[in-house]
Chain A
């Protein structure tokens, strides 16, 4: 159906795509460059090997993973529960609630970061991995709600009624019918939340303390100090993690076509 698209339009799109991906490709390619200068001197895994030798990078990776996994699990659970309530129950204040749920999505990250910094300072909570995790959970809940809600709304409500008719009470129905149906959506939501947490810089910047450096924070520090190909290497690794996660989320999001009977 690629009917009658003017060549100029296709050309323009190709150029845009090229420009969109060129910087990243360059970044990735030069992470494999043996020299530290922007002249290609040969393929080398040198910079990646160096990463393994640097304890600060390994610590940052560990921090990012801990924060990512913890915040993903909690925000996915909280977000899924909210999505269930929105889809299945009528309650007072529902429209207001729905509207307010979208506010975190549109609020600039810097506002979120600053306000949390203020909160932690006022409550005298020391900044560290736990404050970062708390912050990540907060901004991820709304995203998970959006993803899971879309999935619930595509789900046949009769399935739950059929289960109850066959003798399953509300709790059994939830675990044996609702969750398996929603599972791809929950998984997709979780993966998205993980990506947002793993990649986050701005909010993390404000709520992290000494010794709780995540990977993005580390990269920022390195960029400010001096540009060297190790940064390319870390960036490439971050990119790989993101690509895999998004690909999986995409696959699980698509599963609905097969599951809908």
Chain B
């Protein structure tokens, strides 16, 4: 049967576009159907009228977006932004030295790397729960402090802004370490030796050679922390109680108890827009950097 197989291969061979799309097709369909279209529908919903029993009703309105100018919601937006930036900064300050050490660690490199990769992939929920276990009034830290006699009554650590920040930093630190490590690993040590020969002291070598060349990793790391931070809802929910409301909590609320789907969609879309802006800025910086290897 000089048949189906040969004929279809010959047919495909003459059509390179068809070849590509026969491979891309199924995956693309899935992504369009279950990723792109839902987001578009969500965008449409954000302009629609709230339904009485939840859901939406036909009608065009921008009232949901206008609501964000209300001080209550503006506060939420600013708090989300502020917390995310601070978290990113803390992760950067804590993560850069660690990445540096790993990159220079020689035989220990693989082990140290594995010990960072593991939390990276471990369930965020489990890690957040681990924080709860430590921080709650009857949790481990308080138990030890009481036992050691350092305090008389348990310190309230949970459901405070500090707990949320601690939870976020704890959760996202690996996301900062790995890209910076990847950048530092590629660093050509002979550049540092050259700088040394030219008279640069260790501090100067760091600020003028190492840091600039690791910038791509730093920027990537900041992005990998900032974006999930902006969208986090689990951490403020479990560690912050109802008090530290971020956009994520707001969105979740609108789809459960508050039953205001259009408003929730609008909030969700604002979050998405903020993320896309951050990504675009990142791409701009990346393309402009003369140090980035293409």
Write the residues of chain A forming the contact surface with B, with a CB cutoff of 8 angstroms.
1-3, 5, 9-10, 12-13, 16-17, 19-24, 26-27, 30, 37-39, 77-79, 81-82, 84-85, 89-92, 97, 101, 103-104, 106-112, 114-119, 121-122, 134-135, 137-139, 141-142, 145, 169-171, 192, 195-196, 198-202, 206, 216, 219-220, 223-224, 227, 231-232, 235, 238-239, 242-243, 246-247, 250
Q: Which residues of A are found within 8 Å of B55, using beta-carbon distances?
A: 121
* CB<8 Å pairs between A and B, sample of 30: A16-B94, A20-B173, A20-B174, A21-B115, A38-B139, A39-B143, A78-B30, A79-B27, A81-B23, A82-B28, A84-B23, A85-B19, A89-B16, A89-B23, A90-B16, A91-B24, A106-B227, A108-B248, A108-B275, A112-B35, A114-B42, A114-B265, A138-B35, A170-B12, A198-B123, A219-B125, A227-B138, A232-B133, A239-B126, A242-B118
The residues of A that contact B102 with a CB separation of less than 8 Å are 13
Whether the pair A231, B125 counts as a contact (CB closer than 8 A) is no
Q: Mark B118-134, 1 if CB is under 8 A from A, else 0.
A: 11011111110111111
Interface residue from A85, A106, A202 paired with B279 (Cβ < 8 Å): A106
Contact status of A111 and B272, CB under 8 A, knowing A238-B123, A242-B122, A246-B121: yes
A121 to B108, CA, bound (A): 51
**What's the interface size class on B, roughly?**
35 or more
Are A141 and B27 in contact, CB atoms less than 8 angstroms apart?
A: yes
Q: Is B268 in contact with A111, judged by CB distance below 8 angstroms? A: yes
A contact residues around B20 at 8 Å (CB): 85, 89-91
Which stretch, B68-76, B207-215, B228-236, B285-293, touches the partner chain A? Answer: B228-236
Q: By the criterion CB–CB under 8 Å, are B275 and A201 in contact?
A: no
Tell me which residues across on chain B come within 8 A of A195, comparing CB atoms: 121
Known contacts A81-B27, A85-B24, A119-B34: does B125 contact A199 (CB below 8 Å)? yes
Given that A89-B16, A115-B38, A242-B123 are contacting pairs, would A231 and B104 also be in contact in the complex, using a CB cutoff of 8 Å? no
CB neighbours (8 Å) of B19 from chain A are 85, 89
Docked-complex contact B252 and A235, CB < 8 angstroms: no
Q: How far is the CA of A103 from the CA of B134 in the complex (A)?
A: 35
- Does the CB pair B98–A114 fall under 8 Å? no
Q: Does B114 sit at the interface, judged by CB under 8 A?
A: yes
Complex: A122 Cα to B255 Cα, angstroms: 14
